Amino acid sequence: MNVLSGETSGLDREVRFGDVRYDFHVRSGSGAWHDLRTRLAALDADRFVVVADSGLPDHVVAETELAVAEIAPTQVLTVTADERAKSLSALDQLAEQAIRSGITRRSVVIALGGGLVGNVAGLLAALVFRGIRLVHMPTTLLGMSDSVLSLKQAVNSRLGKNHLGTFHAPVLVWNHLDFLDSLPAAETRSALCEMIKNVLGIVPERYDQVAGLLRADGRYTPAVLTSFIDLCVDAKTAVMREDQREKGDALVLEYGHTVGHAAELLTEGRLRHGFAIGLGMLVAARVSRELGLLDRADEAAHHRLLELNGAPTTLPDELDADALLASVRLDNKRGYVPGRAGTCDLILLEGLGRPHRPGGSQITQVAEDTVRTGIESVLAARPAPELVGA
């Protein structure tokens, strides 16, 4: 971590995935805007298109537009941060507006919002003129610590999450911790479920450190948030360094996502992404124990971190095993290994930090009855209302 002098302090990293490199910065305080303008000016863009979450506070969008417009003409387009709006039709409307605004191959798309907006803006940048430059300015902790640490850009089909997409690298990620001030604590707790995934699946040696820092109220100092983001950079670059398309070692990043994505989709986003992934990890941990891969202590380690984080440990009662299994059957990880009738493809652990690799692949084909057992183990009760929805 590089702590800078003066009012603006934070983190400077170079993210490296294969032959892709991009700068990653964390800042806080009003002086951060000068730093942003300097970095944007270096891009020599003829125009910026800011794709912003329509639910952001007005001052966040206004401050960003003011800073960016000092560098080049700027157009702000809005996206509703709703899973139902994460679609090709919404993308088509954005592309039309961007092209009409005068965007060229020298222009830059800026994603201003959480992971959903980042995905939509990222896919827009990847497709317009077969690819123009992308800058991520995440406004959520989930965006800062997880989604911008990936090259994947995607939208949903009518049948499932992230079915339609490609890979497109940003040229810059600029994180302003002040953006987090207006977020509810539940949003922070949700985001940290993805960090917990990294601890359980990749860096278990950080388990005790993280356990000592997690707070159920979701309130942290900028220094602690920066340390969490730094951990996530370490974890994700460790498995993606030689696997930038996330098909080999980096598949562990999908731990908990199979059932988690199904739960998120079926609740139409009312169950926050991170909470859904946390619940998906509990299902995966129970499945792993049923298969003799994890012991009871390892499964309990999952529950402990989620509970310290104030995250739910039971699925919403609007969900049932049949609906979740039906959605899991359409998961976007199908096809890494030849399909087998009556099974689901899951990422499992055989110990903390040790992905299970049957036949050398991280995909385990699990009988649907065993997956059902895992789901039913997390269907005991309804989580507290503040843990679900926006």
The string of pLDDT tens digits covering residues 81-111 is 888 889 999 999 999 999 999 999 999 999 9
Domain assignment of residue 61, yes or no = yes
Distance CA 288, CA 257 (A): 15
Give me the pLDDT at residue 10, please: 85
CATH number at residue 73: 3.40.50.1970
| pLDDT of 312 strictly over 70 | yes
pLDDT band at 4 (very low <50, low <70, confident <90, very high): very low
Same domain? For 129 and 261 the reply is: no
C-beta of residue 298 within 8 angstroms of C-beta of residue 353: no
Mean pLDDT across the chain, nearest whole number?
91
Distance CA 292, CA 290 (A): 6
- Domain-terminating residue out of 135, 162, 182: 182
| pLDDT of 385 strictly over 70 | no
Distance CA 25, CA 267 (A): 34
Domain assignment of residue 2, yes or no = no
| pLDDT of 322 strictly over 90 | yes
Same domain? For 128 and 220 the reply is: no
Query: Which stretches within 172-295 are classed as H helix?
Result: 185-201, 207-213, 222-240, 257-266, 273-290
Among 258, 274, 239, smallest CA distance to 332 is for 258
pLDDT band at 380 (very low <50, low <70, confident <90, very high): low
Amino acid at 20: V
pLDDT band at 246 (very low <50, low <70, confident <90, very high): confident
Q: Tell me what the mean pLDDT of segment 175-197 comes to.
A: 95
Domain assignment of residue 254, yes or no = yes
Domain assignment of residue 91, yes or no = yes
Q: Is 271 helix (H, G, I), strand (E, B) or coil?
A: coil
Give me the pLDDT at residue 272, please: 93
Annotated catalytic sites, by residue? 152, 254
Q: Tell me what the mean pLDDT of segment 333-351 comes to.
A: 87
Number of domains in the chain: 2
Same domain? For 32 and 109 the reply is: yes
Question: Which of the residue ranges 158-172, 314-328, 329-343, 365-379 would you say has the lowest mean pLDDT?
Answer: 329-343
Q: Tell me what the mean pLDDT of segment 3-31 comes to.
A: 78
Among 314, 308, 229, 322, smallest CA distance to 280 is for 314
Give me the pLDDT at residue 330, please: 84
188-207 confidence digits (pLDDT tens): 999 999 999 999 999 999 99
Give me the pLDDT at residue 306, please: 98
Give me the domain span that covers residue 85.
11-182
